[in-house]
Structure 1
Amino acid sequence: MQHKGGCHCGALGIEFTSDIAPEDMEVRTCLCSFCRKHGSRAVSDPAGAVRLILRDDAVVQRYRFGLATADYLLCGRCGVYVSAVIEDAGRHYAIVITGALENAKRFSQTPMPMDYDAEDEAARRARRRAKWTPAEVVVESS
């Protein structure tokens, strides 16, 4: 099943593929200050795939904070938070923000609050490799 979406203006696209039905997928809400301020609801599937399409890379904002292990991708034009992505050992892994998907309402599980403050950098990278979705980042323009 493929779920498409992106930011409001179309500069940042996303295609998320998973065999898990949206209604059955675990939805997480991170308790860090960034995610709380964005009201993010995130999903991932280690057996799935994410394709992040940067149609206008000049307006894509990459934000890092805390341990600075992931890029939080936001559109600098319309402001939508679409995904977080990490590069580790030459591979990318991502979470998908359900609000950026066209069928967002189908991801209807009650979000599980997640607190990752106790993780060090190695533990955070290991968790993301194990739990996040393998991703491809495609830059269509610069």
Structure 2
Amino acid sequence: MRRAAPAVTALAAALALAGCGAGEGSAGPELSVSAAYMPQPVAADMAAGFLTVTNKGGGPDELTSVSSDIGKVTMHSTTGGAMAERASFEVPAHGRLVFRSGADHLMFEQLKERPRQGRTVTLKLGFAKSGPLTVEMPVRSATYNPSTGH
């Protein structure tokens, strides 16, 4: 029995350490961005932007800022046809934050230049817990619909 005790203790310690490592990665947010696009704006000084932030982690996060070199960027929610500026949006654990046409979205204002189809706009997304993410947002046609690809 005495010879088995050190081996059992070593095995228990190894399992405890392995468990600690596995829990750390899944407990916090794990963010990625997809489906980013901006319809070519029809106005010279204002545009909208859309994207999806996916959180594969076990902890929530919060989108707290969006910035771009082309102008001021604000976040808006849309409820019952009424639009309101928001300071932040939750990105739930194992969930998504979706900005889409007719719903929650990004507004680009005071544009330094009008984005043209075929170009990209660079965004920096700031979060409460995670590090910032840089996103290249392609400018699509003014009538682009992501469900049809046109």
Normalization by structure 1: what TM-score? 0.27
TM-score (normalised: structure 2): 0.26
Which structure features the higher share of helix residues?
1
Question: Which structure is higher in strand share?
Answer: 2
Per chain length, whose mean CA-contact separation is higher, i.e. which structure has more relative contact order (CA < 8 Å, sep 6+)? 1
Instruction: Tell me which structure has the larger Cα radius of gyration.
Output: 2
